[in-house]
Structure 1
């Protein structure tokens, strides 16, 4: 029996390349989720053992129906790639007319990038719990953030805020889900080639910083394998600790990014309470 992968934002870019890689391995059945029917059907036809399911990740009921139909078909889900996201095209800092109330800020991408990720994570958690045991290793949930989720980005501040949210979501859920046999990690790529979203972005990104999409896909496969992993600085994370990790993907290397250090004991104890670690230690 093949393992089952669900990929949001699976009809182009990183999502599509990961889908192709999984399907070609022969071990996976892949479901591509996207909002554009034509592009989705074309993507599915290009991949054996892949099918397209139309849904807007920001609309919970639509996405939930797709997850439920996938589970009804296979009785299992082994990997969810919460990858759907859009770029920020509006100028957040643009001056507005002096008279009257300015138009609403560009919040539509927040619904896709952040609300969509929360919807996807929530549904993945539910159907992972209902699924049979994985055929090998653990179940996996990988979220796509960005270099803009690690560092400030004045050019796209709303996009950056959503991607910071993805990192926070990953770190907040990973400990609990690890206890249920689910490995949760986030990838934070820079500018991926050929998944560049606009000509303007490509012009701003010299060739030496562009990341081959195959490198990102290869790293996703390594996370799914769950073996010990060593980053570009020689930091090795053993298989038993390969969860709740944030991986910044640079041009030809990746780096584990730790959460901020605590500056005093009070901060550390507050965080332990927020993570319910006191409850775990006392039980």
Structure 2
């Protein structure tokens, strides 16, 4: 129970990577609050995590973020681990990407990270060891076609990670990003459907198309991403900060 003194808040905790991260942190002893827009999904995840708290919030709305942190603190005290996981992965040719699609990607993938980091910062600075881990993407380290808004927003999230890490380097707070390749979650399922509709490929062929980016020729498991997050939150990772760690089977960035 190496994280028994910690309170972790995980955004986008109702499914996929966020739910898996919440379970992994709880397994190491952390108290957990999961945040998201869908109460039913959050409560379903929380039912499997002893003592988990739920806060319903749209993390693109600063007032809602502040209220979610108040709920979290009321349940488990100051937040000492923040996992920025909430995200969207829109896909469209750049020429057909609308400003609304662009802003929506920025709002959830970059603005929400800003809001949550600011809301958590007083608690993190006061803690003996504070941790911020943002679930970014290999798209924050390189480019992919037909995902300009997503790629730009994830680059922004990694840029904020690096800036904060330097600013907080002489405190007890570390700031890192975990950058999964294509991971076996609902977001990949949505991408598979998009490929199928656009190209006529079968779902199996579409999944193989995404897996080919990974030299191991497979999709990443959410548990593998969660293990990287847990490692970054451990006491022995205090010297790891400002990093964007790819969990992608050796994909070249």
Question: C-alpha distance in 2, partners of 1:254/1:151?
Answer: 10
Shift of 1:89: 4.0
Out of 125, 149, 154, the position equivalent to 2:145 is 154
Determine if the alignment matches structure 1 residue 17 to structure 2 residue 20.
Answer: yes
Q: Is the 8 A contact 2:182 2:211 kept in 1?
A: no
For the residue of structure 2 that corresponds to 1:178, the secondary structure is coil
Verify the 8 A CA contact 1:34 1:56 in the aligned structure 2.
yes
Q: Of the two structures, which has the highest relative contact order with CA contacts closer than 8 Å and spacing of 6 or more? A: 2
The number of equivalent residue pairs is 231
Shift of 1:178: 2.7
Instruction: State the Cα distance separating 1:192 from its structure 2 match.
Output: 1.0
Given candidates 33, 36, 39, the residue that maps to 2:35 is: 33
**d(CA) in 1 for partners of 2:234 and 2:165?**
17
The Cα of 1:15 is off from its aligned counterpart by 1.0
Contact 1:7 1:83 in 2 (8 A): yes
Look up the match of 1:83. Answer: 85
TM-score (norm 1): 0.74
Partner SS state of residue 168, structure 2: helix
Query: Does the CA contact (< 8 Å) of 2:80 and 2:123 recur in 1?
Result: no
Deviation per CA, 1:33-54: give whole Å up to 9, x if none: 0011221222212322212210
Per-residue deviation, 1:188: 1.0
Alignment CA distance shift 1:155-1:91 (3 Å): closer
CA offsets 1:168-203 (integer angstroms, 9 cap, x no match): 001111022232210111111111124524234653
Q: 1:86 and 1:194, CA in 2 relative to 1: closer, same or farther beyond 3 A?
A: closer
Go from structure 1 to structure 2 and tell me whether the alpha carbon gap of 1:110 and 1:216 turns closer, same or farther (over 3 Å shift): same
Inter-partner Cα distance in structure 2 for 1:70 and 1:223: 22
Match of 2:117, SS state, is: helix
Structure in which a larger fraction of residues adopt helix: 2
Contact 1:18/1:220, CA 8 A, preserved across alignment: yes
Is 1:206 matched up with 2:211? yes
Q: CA deviation at 1:240?
A: 5.5
- Larger Rg: 1 or 2? 1
Which residue of structure 1 aligns with residue 202 of structure 2? none
Tell me what 1:142 maps to.
133
Moved more, 214-223 or 68-77: 68-77
Deviation for aligned residue 1:94: 3.1
Write the distance in 1 (CA, Å) between the matches of 2:230 and 2:68. 24
**Change beyond 3 A, Cα 1:41–1:72:** closer
- In the TM superposition, 1:264-275 aligns within 5 A as none
Show the counterpart of 1:185.
176
Structure 2 distance, partners of 1:254, 1:41, is 35
Q: How does 1:127-276 map to 2 (within 5 A)?
A: 127-129=123-125, 131=126, 133-134=127-128, 138-195=129-186, 196-198=188-190, 199-200=192-193, 203=207, 204-206=209-211, 208-227=217-236, 239=237, 241-251=239-249
Question: Which of the numbers 107, 112, 116 marks the counterpart of 2:108?
Answer: 112
Unpaired segments ≥5 residues, structure 2: 196-205
Q: Distance in 1 between matches of 2:113 and 2:7?
A: 19
**Structure 1 counterpart of 2:119:** 123
